[in-house]
Structure 1
């Protein structure tokens, strides 16, 4: 799904109407029909539709017409002066009126009493008050109407965006509809990605309303929400004649005394997600521990210089950082590996922490680097406040990736993956996964898919999606999901997705 802003939506409409000569009323009709398709008609029979004076209100009048034709009980409320209706909105207002659909005005306290009683008696409220262009605080009659809907509606569906939310940044403009479902059009609104937006937007469905593909390609930024269809197409089927050499060699540089778990999880995940041969490079004092735990992976230690050179030379992907410690030793190892490696690298955990005052070394890499910070690590890396990062995740991630010529995966709700030019938002995962080792698991996944021959950006997207997918599936039957659970489920999850 494409991600867009209010400005992008306006430009799309302008090109369609002015250049392609698609009448706005046609787009409005398509939008109304898509909303109808998302209503369980066999279960819901009575509706209250609340319309504003703009195109969002026009969608509402068109929706009312279709529900009326289907013999549903429909009560429409209009906020504002009919003389101020926009062109296409006015057309649908007139049609609805001519069909005998009752349209009540909401202008004063007496109107609100009747409005409240109608909502209490209805099975669904459809919110068509404001569209994507809201930038001012909601006040007066609008504030009262939204408050009454939130207090009395049992089932609220918002059209395009919940009224009261800024569709670009997710800010609540004083008050906002608490939607149970949102049917949005053509683009997933950027404001939906904000942490706090989730409690207002409910379940979001993005519907195509007939905008030509070339218009979308021309106008929209390269920002996408990852979808299972994308992952399914991206994962290559395995040829029956393939052998372990065809699926690449991965090197995981990880672990220190007291942190063998990080090395184990990242390495075992790389094995279970399909890399042909996996080796972990670790300190000598923990090698025996890892050798006992890892059945299918090989282990080497930092004293085996020749062996390290050999493994690095053959590796298709290298991961570094989990459980190594934020110290000069880790920085020294990282610096050497960046200088000598001949393949893409995944930098996680302490490999990111040691860059705090040494970001210049990542620009020395002749290979693609994938950095996977959580907001705290991103704060240390950039010097930016964590709250600012969380409020501006896409902006911060894109700017850093572009400036440093890296792929950045910024962890958290709606994980951001970007090379600065193309950006993906991961839609999978939940708070059941919020525990230690999950990042190590993700690092192993990304490294494995790069080793198998996937382009680093594609491998990072696939891995983030599968990682979250496992967590979601497992959390259906588990209160909390640990990294080991995800690690064990990965091969089954991949099979489920591709089949």
Structure 2
């Protein structure tokens, strides 16, 4: 599913009205009808309940006026409040505004603090609030009476349904522009906007529902948008159905370089996740002193023990054992629990210089990478980097707040500069590639903010690349499966008690579910 920014949505609207001759008023009518359906669900079809609809003076407000008209026709108790000067309402929004005037829908106007008394009283008597103040086009901080209205609405603790996007959220970035409505449900029209899917906006959406409004699918399919939402349907085109006449060699020979004293768990979790994601053979390079522990914990993994010098890192001859295994692998992942030693730096540098297979860099590999960033441009194969915002800060020199406020741009710029795929982890993980494509994932939950969660993701992506799935497809499938596994684990343990191994347990079931649906469809 494509994801739009403000400019792209305006362009698609213009194409719909100019090339396909569909008036904007029809799109607004469809938007109003779909939102009305959701309001009636929230009311449980109880017509005695009261709905307050707060409208701005633009097209978002026009959608709100259309909702008011439909609810009024159903004998629902409706009151509309306009934030701003009603004289500035124009075009399609004006048509719907004049319609509710003619129907004698109760209308109030909010221009200053003196108008807030009746509004506050009505809010306290209401059951549902419809937020149609600002749409995706908002590009400056909310101030004045609108800011006061948003603050009051958030305090009354009513069910709030936002039209297209919660008012106060940037449709381009998901940034809160001063203040924003905290919706119970957001009804996004036709396609999700970037602001619907990225942090911190996802804290404000509530339940996100995508509703069609009549924009032709042909217009959407012709449009060349860079951003897409990863869905289960996306994965059906990525995950292959296994042939009956197959063997372990068909599903990849992966090398994982992970673990160190005190951090064997990272290597174990990444390895188990890779095995549960279907890799054919997995070799794990591990310091020799930890080999017995790993062989006990990972009976299906072949270990590659290497010696770590106690003194000068120049004596690190064990790296040759790793390189020997690398030459026989079709994917290598390094970093989980590897430590930030000089030996780690040697391993990362040698892998980047010598690997002819895809390279996945995570955790401690990313922590030492800033010292050798230029090597990314010289790698013989392609790389996937899986940083969280803190690791991305070290790679870019930006602060964590700067990254979190511009997640898509930061990831895109890094991908293009260094020719790599970036998986920027966090709430709504962002995936970008060298060509500027953007993919957003919304599976997952706060319970996944636990030690080892990133190691599980690395293992899943490694296994998928090993099975010869193209790198961007493996990254997309990996983050989706990882998030879904966390969602399923949370149903059993709750978010508070979830640990990373709970996610590993769910991985094969999620993959099986997706592949079985693919079989049924085919």
Contact 1:281 1:299 in 2 (8 A): yes
Q: Deviations over 1:56-89 (max 9, x none)?
A: 1111111122222333222222334443221111
- Aligned-residue offset at 1:369: 0.7
Distance in 1 of aligned mates of 2:119 and 2:277:
56
1:268 corresponding residue in structure 2: 272
Gaps of 5+ in 2: 308-317, 518-522
Are residues 1:486 and 2:503 paired?
yes
Instruction: For residue 371 of structure 2, give the secondary structure of its aligned residue in structure 1.
Output: coil
2:2 corresponding residue in structure 1: 2
Which of 431, 442, 447 is the aligned partner of 2:446? 431
2:44 corresponding residue in structure 1: 42
Relative distance call for 1:199 and 1:282 in structure 2 (3 A) is closer
Contact 1:11 1:219 in 2 (8 A): no
Alignment of 1:82-97 (within 5 A): 82-97=86-101
Distance in 2 of aligned mates of 1:346 and 1:427:
22
Which of 128, 135, 142 is the aligned partner of 2:132? 128
Contact 2:284 2:302 in 1 (8 A): yes
Distance in 2 of aligned mates of 1:140 and 1:483:
46
- Most deviating of 430-439 and 389-398: 430-439
Relative distance call for 1:153 and 1:94 in structure 2 (3 A) is farther
Relative distance call for 1:139 and 1:472 in structure 2 (3 A) is same
1:296 corresponding residue in structure 2: 300
1:362 corresponding residue in structure 2: 376
Contact 1:119 1:153 in 2 (8 A): no
Distance in 1 of aligned mates of 2:110 and 2:347:
68
Contact 1:120 1:153 in 2 (8 A): no
Which of 436, 451, 470 is the aligned partner of 2:485? 470
2:146 corresponding residue in structure 1: 142
Relative distance call for 1:138 and 1:361 in structure 2 (3 A) is closer
Distance in 1 of aligned mates of 2:125 and 2:477:
46
- Most deviating of 115-124 and 165-174: 165-174
- Most deviating of 347-356 and 229-238: 229-238
Aligned length: 499
TM-score by length of 2: 0.89
- RMSD value over aligned CA atoms? 2.4
1:23 corresponding residue in structure 2: 23
Relative distance call for 1:407 and 1:138 in structure 2 (3 A) is closer
- Any runs of at least 4 consecutive aligned residues in structure 1 with deviations exceeding 6 A, and if so which? 303-307
Are residues 1:254 and 2:271 paired?
no
Contact 2:323 2:351 in 1 (8 A): no
Contact 2:349 2:372 in 1 (8 A): no
Contact 1:186 1:206 in 2 (8 A): yes
Are residues 1:451 and 2:466 paired?
yes
Contact 1:116 1:152 in 2 (8 A): no
Which of 53, 63, 78 is the aligned partner of 2:82? 78
Are residues 1:378 and 2:392 paired?
yes
Are residues 1:412 and 2:426 paired?
yes
- Aligned-residue offset at 1:226: 1.8
Contact 1:4 1:220 in 2 (8 A): no
Which of 315, 318, 338 is the aligned partner of 1:324? 338
Instruction: For residue 476 of structure 1, give the secondary structure of its aligned residue in structure 2.
Output: helix
- Aligned-residue offset at 1:268: 1.8
Relative distance call for 1:80 and 1:432 in structure 2 (3 A) is closer
Alignment of 1:183-222 (within 5 A): 183-217=187-221, 219=223, 221-222=225-226
Contact 1:30 1:209 in 2 (8 A): yes
Distance in 1 of aligned mates of 2:329 and 2:502:
27
- Most deviating of 38-47 and 237-246: 38-47
Contact 2:181 2:204 in 1 (8 A): yes
Contact 1:125 1:153 in 2 (8 A): no
Contact 2:175 2:405 in 1 (8 A): no
- Aligned-residue offset at 1:496: 3.1
Contact 1:3 1:188 in 2 (8 A): yes
Relative distance call for 1:80 and 1:272 in structure 2 (3 A) is closer
Which of 70, 95, 106 is the aligned partner of 1:102? 106
Contact 2:348 2:369 in 1 (8 A): no
Distance in 2 of aligned mates of 1:104 and 1:217:
42
- Aligned-residue offset at 1:423: 1.1
- Most deviating of 471-480 and 38-47: 38-47
1:315 corresponding residue in structure 2: 329
- Aligned-residue offset at 1:416: 1.3
Instruction: For residue 357 of structure 1, give the secondary structure of its aligned residue in structure 2.
Output: helix
